[in-house]
Amino acid sequence: MFRNWILWILTAGWILAACTSPQATDSASPSPQPDSVTESSSSPSALLTPTLLPEEPPPARAQSEFNTDFDKHSVPYSEILSGGPPKDGIPPIDAPQFIPVNEADEWLEDREPVVFVQVGDDARAYPIQILMWHEIVNDTVGGEPLIVSFCPLCNTAIAFKRTFNSTVLDFGTTGRLRYSNLIMYDRQTETWWQQATGDAIAGEHTGAQLEFYPASMISWMDFKNLYPNGSVLSRETGFSRDYGRNPYFGYDDINQTPFLYDGTTPDQLPPMARVLTVELKNEAVAYPYDILSQANIINDTVGGEAIVIFWAKGTTSALDTNNIPEGRDVGAAVAYSRVLDDQALTFTFANGKIFDEQTNSEWNIFGQVISGDLKGKQLKQIVSINHFWFSWAAFRPETKVYNRK
């Protein structure tokens, strides 16, 4: 397998041709080139306190495609590159259809990754094999308007609340990247939003941030076993795509170079190392998958809050082989608060099972007690996000990297 820039240039061109909407023509899809040629940007910095920058001209193509107030922006436009496709050239799913688990089981393999989101009793799975081609689903789960997003170049599956300032927003793809990360826009004001952080970086809402909603990337088998009555995003999207095929095959090789990324990366980890990130009360911690796969559980405190991370094997990488179900097993990790009924629990892993030290009850990766004195109890899931290290560090360079002692 050729894993070099020639491959990625060819792949980017193929994705562009494949991801245009059915009505679009080839001439409407420019080749993957930056919107403007500028000097390299400075090192990435966190958007903890966005500052309105002096006016500077946005890329000409963006001005022709968007009705965005480009005079307002919190990042230099020199940091924003074209990923190839135009506005909504990678089409979001605006009217998602859902099917029962038994129907989805006909085309989903057990180890395939899905994004799991639950609001109340409404549990939904969004297969990565579909999100790979659309990146955004505008949905309402359990009465809560949500956006479920996935950036393949950063391996980030993130959910946000769509209600902002009492208005329900609908999101699309700009076709632009910043530090290789998806830039979204809302159709109501055409403000540009950074997917990795939820920050508004250009337009009317510059300086604001979307509210995260817990979402996790787990295996199809884990979802269907625990939620046999759950709902699954259907392949009937209104678009013809090769669902199940990975157009970015080989991208998550640990020795790979991030695509369209010109930032610096702290050297604690290789740029393409998989991490699960947690940010609470201005403290950010990255948990390397290499450590998670050895420990299986990690008890920690972040931002003064007691948390635990459960890791389980059995989930493939969606970015490894051409056929997603054949990818290597990278496992799945989910973070929870360790506090239950005002008591901070401590967890251990023994004989392939998770137990708490206080009652010796057994738990599953969904933070639920499956046997013991606490049966029926459940931990509160907290926002934790899968990233490649370069992606998270670009936006949160002050992040601590967990080191198992």
Question: What mean pLDDT do residues 328-335 have?
Answer: 98
Q: Is there a contact between 197 and 209 (Cβ–Cβ < 8 Å)?
A: yes
* Burial (0-12, 13-18, 19+ Cβ within 10 Å), 350: exposed
324 secondary structure, DSSP code: G
Confidence of residue 18 (pLDDT cuts 50, 70, 90): very low
pLDDT tens per residue across span 149-167: 999 999 999 999 999 999 9
* Burial (0-12, 13-18, 19+ Cβ within 10 Å), 218: buried
pLDDT for res 21 = 38
**Does residue 80 register a pLDDT over 90?**
yes
306 vs 311: CA distance, rounded Å:
17
SS3 of residue 192 by DSSP: strand
**Does residue 31 register a pLDDT over 90?**
no
Closest CA to 293 of 317, 271, 265: 317
282 vs 321: CA distance, rounded Å:
37
72 vs 76: CA distance, rounded Å:
11
Sign of the dihedral defined by the CA atoms of residues 63, 65, 69, 73, in that order: negative
**Does residue 41 register a pLDDT over 70?**
no
170 vs 251: CA distance, rounded Å:
30
**Does residue 55 register a pLDDT over 60?**
no
Q: Is there a contact between 402 and 287 (Cβ–Cβ < 8 Å)?
A: yes
CATH architecture for segment(s) 274-401: 3-layer Sandwich (2.102)
pLDDT for res 56 = 66
Percent of the chain whose predicted confidence (pLDDT) is above 70:
86
Tally of CB atoms within 10 A around 328: 10
Mean pLDDT of the chain: 88
Confidence of residue 404 (pLDDT cuts 50, 70, 90): confident
247 vs 240: CA distance, rounded Å:
15
* pTM to 2 decimal places: 0.88
User: For residues 95 and 48, which has the higher predicted lDDT (pLDDT)?
Assistant: 95
DSSP count for the chain of H helices, then E strands: 7, 29
231 vs 238: CA distance, rounded Å:
18
**Does residue 42 register a pLDDT over 70?**
no
Distances (CA, A) of 72 to 38, 69, 274: 20, 6, 34
